[in-house]
Amino acid sequence: MIRPQTRRTPPLPIALLLLAAGPTALAANGVTLDAVEVIGATPLPGIGLPRDQVPANVQTESGAALRSAGEPSLAETLGRRLPGVTLNETQGNPWQPDLNFRGFTVSPLLGTPQGLSVFLEGVRMNEGFGDVVNWDLIPQRALADVTLLPGANPLFGLNTLGGALVLQTKRGDTHPGGEIEASLGSHGRRQIGFEEGGKAGALHWFVSGEGMREDGWRDYSPSKLSQFFAKGGWTDDRTDVSLTLAHAHTDLIGNALVPESLLRRDHSAVFTHPDNTQNLATLAALNASHWLSDSDQLSATVYLRRTRTRTLNGDLNDDYAEEYDLDPAFDLSGVLNRTATDQQAGGLGLQWSATRGRHQFALGAAYDQTRARFRQTEQEGIVAANRGVEGVEEEELDNRLSGRTRSTAIYLTDTIALAPTLHLTASARYQRTRVTNVDQLDPTPPNLDGDYTYRKLNPALGLTWAVSPALTFYGGFSQGSRAPTPIELGCADPANPCTLPNALAADPYLKEVVARNLEIGARGRLGGGLRWNASLFRTTNLDDILFVGTSTSAGYFTNFGKTRRAGVELGLSGDSDRFDWAIHYNYLRATYQSSACLLAEFNSSAGADLRCGDDEIRIRPGDRLPGLPAHSLKVLLSWRPTDALRLGADLAFYSDQTVRGNENGDHRANGDVRGEGTLGGFGIVNLDADYALGRGWTVFGRVANLFDHRYATAGALAENPFTAAGAFQADPALWRGEQFVAPGAPRGVWVGLRYRWGDR
């Protein structure tokens, strides 16, 4: 991540900035060197490292590239452009996908094991209650650049098992001028946005805003979103201070998985509804840095964040079948599950970065805490003819929980120049996390009360060798960890499964997850502007926390021995005055490395292993983790046939994947359960273009899923109470097991108009 500076800085910062700025700036100062990209490799802004000294396959994207892709949410854009990133569109909403990288996931859905950390302006965006990340709350229009640091990098703390996603926002002194744009198109989507940046002397400012409404491409799926972002600061020769304010209000519908029989009849069908999530969030962050000398910099961040989440989910009543057997007149077939979660987070970080001879190091400390209040109710009702759930009975309070997470950490990293072309980086972070739950509904044990403390020292060691200016080898080991969250600790008893979002019960202790990562690779440049990279990685998780389903909407969290993600990353790219392109291939083998029995009632092999129960399957070492394609190939193209016209395309191809409920891979379709237990591979082609009309005006457009390919990105084996025509069957004896899938969006076309002014 290039961190631009505009102040008159001491000699060392000037040298680093000249390296980051490239040949033009260097030539202006009488120096001729190749461009060197500087990566911010610590949670807070520091001196930074040249990319060739980072012992990992770091990926970066500029804000301009993110915006040109035209996707509404950051997660969708990263899924299109970054190698190794795949999406499970479980909710069928562009702002609610699961993002996977190297087999690790970051998701807005409670119950999804979170293995990636996300930082915005040095603030951890993983919510304390479940470590989830709400993509709809991230101001994509305000992003200056995105850096994806792979591996279990301990410097970024909790959840950094597979990598850290670092988001840096725009400033008025680096992004002066402004723009306003509006677009509309398929699925009733209407979107408008603006931004403006500038400076006056030592002051600089940047503001942006965005609003969106859409009907959605699936039934009963309208969504709306509004975001506002503001950043102001003051900069002089040695000091930089900025205040960031971000606010978002969203109302999203995500109608989740649907049985394949319903999908074949109607591609826009939903299983049950409503499935609504409303988020209201405000973030305030104060960032400051000061050069103590030519080689010493202090950085600090203080933040406050408040998030309010309300969910309403129409589900089948898990008690219906049992009640119907006792009384065939029982008709409360559905239930409305409601949750209310209020979180207040705050924290601070301090970092000292310095160079001393052959050493470039950073020493930092951080404190973060989150207070969460959670309330869950259920209201029994009926499933209507349109498969919507209508409440009939009185709303009942199931759980009321207060959770608190406090995390304190110190970290150190040092990059040592063993030789001019050989650099060793050693890092470590000590993390202490305390998780406290207070049951506000049931004060009598056994209840949800709990007080757990986790301590871990995580190290990392890496080496880079620049054989020549055009060839670098690297390798390293890293270890990361994450503590169980309040929601996981409140739902860990298999005898008391939870409905997610969440009905909780008194539960046992969960162990901390530890990830150990090995990576080796090489990168370089060839003639004609070609760049390439190749890497091998392997990450082993110990005491991984998995969510084990016990029905279509319930389950529990548990520690599971070992899991492993191993793979290969290959990339080749080139650019010229008129044509830029990139090809990325990734192979991932994500497997269980321990044996266990998991509940999978609708797997045809359930009960076949005598060591497991009648409705359980046996997981063996080597079985694939569900929801993760083994092969992915991405091709990115951008062509400027004239100065005014740009044409772009991206092609993505994915191999097959296993669905949840078929973790052992032994399911076969039969008379009791329909579905193969796997999802076939697929390919998607997207197009984008823009044409400069002159005088600051640009018309742009995008076509998603050009060939209107029908595909699915996630699936599960579950029970379907509906006929192929979508009618509810009152007698549970008629219900059948079936494969449920998350269908991909059909072809969509959007066009828009943009006006720019100032120095854009």
Average pLDDT in the 427-450 region? 86
pLDDT digits (tens, 9 = 90+) for 175-192: 999 999 999 999 999 999
3 state SS of 79: helix
pLDDT digits (tens, 9 = 90+) for 697-739: 999 999 999 999 999 999 999 999 999 899 999 999 999 999 9
pLDDT band of residue 1 (cuts 50, 70, 90) is: very low
Residue 558 gets the label, from left (phi > 0), alpha (psi -120 to 50) or beta, of beta
Average pLDDT in the 661-683 region? 93
The closest of 558, 667, 661 to 608, measured between CA atoms, is: 667
3 state SS of 627: coil
Written as six digits, the tokens of 371 are 């207070």
Residue 13 lies in a domain: no
pLDDT digits (tens, 9 = 90+) for 532-585: 999 999 999 998 877 665 554 556 677 878 999 999 999 999 988 899 999 999
pLDDT digits (tens, 9 = 90+) for 629-657: 999 999 999 999 999 999 999 999 999 99
Residue 31 lies in a domain: no
pLDDT band of residue 496 (cuts 50, 70, 90) is: low
- Lowest average pLDDT, out of 97-101, 479-483, 491-495, goes to 491-495
**Res 240: pLDDT:** 96
Distance CA 334, CA 342 (A): 27
Residue 616 lies in a domain: no
pLDDT band of residue 490 (cuts 50, 70, 90) is: low
Q: What is the CATH number of the domain that holds 557?
A: 2.40.170.20
Distance CA 742, CA 713 (A): 6
First to last CA, the chain: 21
Q: How many CA atoms lie within 13 A of 536 on its CB side?
A: 3
Domain that holds residue 511: 37-594+627-660+669-757
**Is 0.85 surpassed by the pTM of this model?**
yes
Number of domains in the chain: 1
Query: Does the structure show a pLDDT above 80 at 446?
Result: no
Q: Work out the percent of the chain whose per-residue pLDDT is above 90.
A: 75
Query: Does the structure show a pLDDT above 60 at 295?
Result: yes
Residue 14 lies in a domain: no
Q: Locate all alpha helices (DSSP H) within 341-401, ordered by sequence.
A: none
Residue 125 lies in a domain: yes
What is 643-675 written as a DSSP string? SSEEEEEEEEEE--EEPBT-TTS-----SSEES
Average pLDDT in the 146-163 region? 94
Bigger pLDDT: 497 vs 615: 615
Query: Does the structure show a pLDDT above 80 at 440?
Result: yes
Residue 2 lies in a domain: no
Other beta carbons within 10 angstroms of residue 140's beta carbon come to 24
As a whole number, the mean pLDDT across the chain is: 89
Query: Does the structure show a pLDDT above 70 at 21?
Result: no
Residue 159 lies in a domain: yes
Residues 6+ apart with CB under 8 A from 187: 214, 215, 216, 217, 745, 748
Bigger pLDDT: 273 vs 5: 273
- Lowest average pLDDT, out of 223-232, 445-454, 723-732, goes to 445-454
Residue 26 lies in a domain: no
